[in-house]
Each structure stands twice: as C-alpha cells, then as structure tokens.
A = this chain, B = another copy of it.
Amino acid sequence: MDDLILLGHGSGGRLTTDLVRNLFLQNFSNALLKPLSDSARLTLDSPDIAFTTDSYVITPQFFPGGNIGSLAVHGTVNDIAMSGARPLYLSAAYIIEEGFKMSRLEEIVRAMAQAAAAAGVKIVTGDTKVVPRGQADGLYINTSGIGVHRQKPGYGPERIRQNDAIIVNGNIGDHGAAVLSSRAAGFTKAEIFSDSAALNHLVAKLQDNNIIIHALRDATRGGVGGILAELAEQAGTSFKIYESRLPVQSKVRGMCEIYGFEPLFLANEGKMVLFCPAAEAEKVIEIMHCDPLGQNATIIGEVIEEPEAPEYRVIMETAIGGSRIIDQPAGELVPRIC
C-alpha cells in the first residue's frame, strides 16, 4: 500500500506532511523551502522581475530524454530566460491521481531536482493535491517561476527590425518527434530523444558577450513555424525563412515523412528563435556553436519589408524554390507534448 499515492496524501494532514518532508524537502533540499510555510520568503537582488507559469500535462510522463519533472523545470526556466531575465526560483504544484506509484513520483521529483540544480534555480514553494482514480491521467505538474532582469529593456516582438537575422540554436522538432515515437513504438524502442533542456545559461553567454538581442522565444507548442507566425503578427512585420536551411536531424525528417508532419510545426523544448541585427548574427552563431545546446545553430531567415502585402506574414522559400505562407496552426500536430 505504501507504494501508491492515496487521497490522504493531498489532504493537508499527516500523510501530506510526511510526503512533503520525505520526498519534496529531501530532494529539493534548500533553506528557503525548509520552513514549509504558506509562502517562501525571498530576497532578490533587484525589484525588476519576470514572473511566469506553466502547467505540464504531457503523456506519456516518461519519454526518451526526460520526464514530466525535468520538462516542468526546463519549460519554466526557459520562459523566464526568453525575456532576458535570470531565472532564480520555481514553485512546484502537483495534481496526482490516486494510485499513482510512489516510485514513479520519486523518479519525477529527482529529475526535477537535478534539472533545477543544472539550471541554477531553487524550488522554494509547492503544493500537493490528490484526485480520485481515473482523473489527472497520472500526474500534472505546474511550475511558476521568478527571475531577475539583467538589463533595462527586455526582449520583445516590438523590438524586431527590418533585416534582423532569424536564428535557431539547433535541430528542430526533436521533442515532438520523441513524444510521438514513444507513444507509437513503446518506450524502449524509441530512438529519438527530446531536446528538453534549460536555455538560461546559453542566453547568459550571449548577454555576457553583449549581443544585441531584439526578440527571443522558445519554440514549444506550435514549433518554430507557430512561433514565427505569432511573432510576425505581434511585431507587425514579415519574415522570410529558407526551408533548405532548417536544421532537422535525419531521424526526425524520416518520421515526419511517414506521418506527413512538418518539423517546422513540431514542438521543441530546448530550442529558441532569436532575432538580432544582421551584423550580430555571425557572432551569435559562433557563441552558440561553442555550447552543447547550440551545436547546430543556424541562421534560418531574416526580417523583410513587404510593401505589397497588406499584412505581416511569414514566407518560406521551399527546398524546390517555390514560396509558401507559414501560418499559425489552428491546433497541434501532436497534442499533450508539454
């Protein structure tokens, strides 16, 4: 019995206290979490902060290259890093299905602790709810995060300028393909690994090198294509990208051919789209190539003026020389990938 999560673990009573002490406090071990009060007390080195939240409902909870726990840390760290802020503190809130295996939860919590340590963030507050069997599909996790801004103006679509270079830090579509392959082929046979990773250290390297960044966005749900379409709309401008330049690993390309998917719209969890003045682009690529998370960084396009078009849009020059409008997808190619 004590290998399964019970309703009582979410009651706020004795079982909750035991779970919090023996599992969460043990793994997330830090002085700020330790008082286990209703809120964590933090002293920041700046009152200029970034605040974000994300719930993770991915299925399956374990996939090649990570699990829902590491993903919940990476995703929220990245949301903060994309604004130019330095991620510092996370919350972790669990909604667990009654009967979920304690050993699985432990594995997830350990992955969160490791991901947090690697990203240099602390998990300082949390919550646990347990819902009856049949609900919550095992486990959902919400992480919210706080970061501190390093510089006055943040990044944003409103800063995107004509001729800006558009850069991605590596192969696209890996996360979506990994989740898909683990659903289709069973877990052990999957050979495509998620790119799930915290991008904050790579962003910090660019900042330390005084790179002028206009906009930065992680290409999660909707993939690089979805993010570009959204940014073009928000920026009120047009982008041109080149299909032949898109970095895609061959396994992902192969899977996409089988399923009729496009890597451009597959989710990533360790990829960002960066806009910078054209003059900065080579330096960005150089810095990224020196980092394990930027090995295949590529300039995939640029911001263009399109006087004939009445609206902002994303145009892709296809591999065979035609051109195609890239629009925001209405739904997801692969649902529940985060």
Contacts and interface: CB of A to CB of B under 8 A. Distances in A.
7 contacts: A37-B83, A41-B85, A51-B146, A52-B91, A53-B126, A55-B142, A144-B144
B40 A95 contact: no
A57 B11 CA distance: 12
A291 interface: no
A51 B57 contact: no
B131 A11 contact: no
A185 interface: no
Interface stretch (A200-208, A217-225, A238-246, A304-312): A217-225
Nearest to A267: B12
A296 interface: no
A317 interface: no
Contacts of A85: 39, 41
A212 interface: no
Contacts of A154: 41
A129 B47 contact: no
A276 interface: no
Copies in the complex: 2
A74 interface: no
Majority SS of interface residues in chain A?
A: mixed
A49 B42 contact: yes
Give the 8 A-B CB pairs with smallest separation, nearest first.
Answer: A12-B221, A144-B144, A53-B91, A39-B52, A8-B331, A11-B332, A38-B79, A44-B47
B330 A38 contact: no
Given A12-B226, A53-B144, A7 B135 contact: no
Interface in A1-39: 6-8, 10-17, 35, 37-39
- Chain B CB within 10 Å, residue with most, of A127, A220, A329: A127
B142 A93 contact: yes
A125 interface: yes
Contacts of A134: 134
Contact of A38 (B7, B16, B94, B217): B217
Contacts of A336: 131
A51 B89 contact: yes
Contacts of A335: 7, 10-11
A44 B331 CA distance: 37
Interface string A72-88: 00000011101101000
A175 interface: no
